[in-house]
Chains A and B, each alone.
Chain A
């Protein structure tokens, strides 16, 4: 998983179609930015903080990488179990560091598909400074990943 020095930022405003009455009382739609858009950076800062907290627990051997991604992506155990096609109790075992050691590659591939990551992401967290650009490409059903590292043109 790539963790960037500066938290992700909203590059382009996202507009929603909202309905409201105009001055004549007629209900009309308009494409508008969310009223809460000015606070969107708080969301991304919060997400970056969640990664740091989860990573600390991961390196302290409190949780497994499966727990890391499940919690970060806010999936409930039951939901994850259904998506990976195993029982909830099996998922619970995989949430602990010891249980994680027993997960087969095939099941790990299923987890990776749900989390939209590659297998390497369960074992590797790459911290990337702002002047570096890292690009990963996936191969062989998420088993392999090629990483290309270049200077970030925006920062050089």
Chain B
């Protein structure tokens, strides 16, 4: 049996930022999850029309690709992470055991479907979930999962299935841990550079944004356009589930609410204090208000989605009577997302200017 001494398990809004934060805190450095999210340039928007999500609607990404936050935090803060992908689970497990023996908690990227300690509505095939191994006893592993209030336990068979999925883009058998924390970290520079990168990710140059119409602000606009087409593209339970899944994805799937925009507000408040910037205080207020508005749009989606029938058999009769109501409702929501795109366009341009001034 091996369990990490003095490890404090803390929940988080998001699994990657939560795992990185928990590892850094265990290594002795106090840092908040919003700070990791901000320095890691977390906010993003991808309307991945070419990838079908679990609900058969196109996948939507509202933060940078998995692993990017870790990479950005490491680069900007100077915190040295050991990060490696092994060719098979035996090798990865051997390394994890070695680290646990040395009292080092180790983060893994796994498929959330096999995390049996989580309630079953969270058992979805998402092979980019971050957890921390903090102990092992025989075939049972002790897990610190930012989405779970208590310490969880996983059988080795479940861990193996979750860690080596062969799923597209999954980082099978990969792990990371804190190797070294520098004596001094230039948080101010890290914060400013993190903000600049976020703005760059959200506002693409004119020509690029036409080609990458599914990324950043342009991605939100494309998404808004597609919302109006949903009743033409989908029907029945698929349409109902898709509408609900989109809304839940913005709120309850590790975003902290308002598609991560509220957590970004917390980061900007912290950054404003660190840099003594009144301009950033105002920017924090703006993104918090925007995040709250985003939550309201999610609530509208939920209310609308719940009006659709729960079985395919009832759908044809229902849509004959309610097509106008559905079109109007989705049209209103699409309009709000178009406004949200305009708000973010102005916001990230202003933030970019402020960050440049602070640099």
Which positions in A face B, CB cutoff 8 Å?
8, 10, 12, 14-21, 25-29, 31, 34-36, 39-40, 42-46, 49-50, 53, 73-76, 78-79, 82-85, 113-114, 116, 138
Contact = CB atoms under 8 A, between A and B. Distances in A.
30 contacts: A8-B120, A10-B119, A10-B121, A16-B13, A16-B254, A18-B256, A19-B257, A19-B262, A19-B265, A20-B288, A21-B265, A21-B288, A25-B288, A27-B262, A27-B265, A27-B288, A34-B251, A36-B248, A36-B252, A36-B302, A40-B121, A46-B241, A73-B125, A74-B124, A76-B52, A79-B167, A82-B166, A82-B168, A83-B167, A85-B166
B200 interface: no
Contacts of A18: 13, 256-257, 262
A29 B306 CA distance: 28
| Leading 10 A-B pairs by shortest Cβ distance | A27-B266, A19-B262, A74-B54, A19-B256, A18-B257, A17-B13, A19-B263, A27-B265, A34-B252, A83-B166
B310 A49 contact: yes
Contacts of B285: 25
A21 B241 CA distance: 30
B12 interface: yes
A117 to B, nearest CB: 11
Contacts, number: 109
A18 B292 CA distance: 12
B118 to A, nearest CB: 8
Dominant secondary structure of chain A at its interface with chain B: mixed
A61 to B, nearest CB: 20
Contacts of B118: 14
Contacts of A35: 251, 299
Given A16-B13, A35-B299, A29 B256 contact: yes
A113 B302 CA distance: 34
Interface residues of B, number: 53
Interface of B: 11-13, 33-34, 52, 54-56, 113-114, 118-122, 124-125, 146-147, 149, 157-158, 161, 165-168, 237, 241, 248, 251-252, 254, 256-258, 262-263, 265-266, 269, 284-285, 288, 291-292, 299, 302, 306, 310-312
Contacts of B306: 39, 42
Contacts of B55: 74
Contacts of B291: 19
Contacts of B52: 76
Contacts of A40: 121
Contacts of A73: 113, 125
A152 to B, nearest CB: 19
A78 B288 CA distance: 39
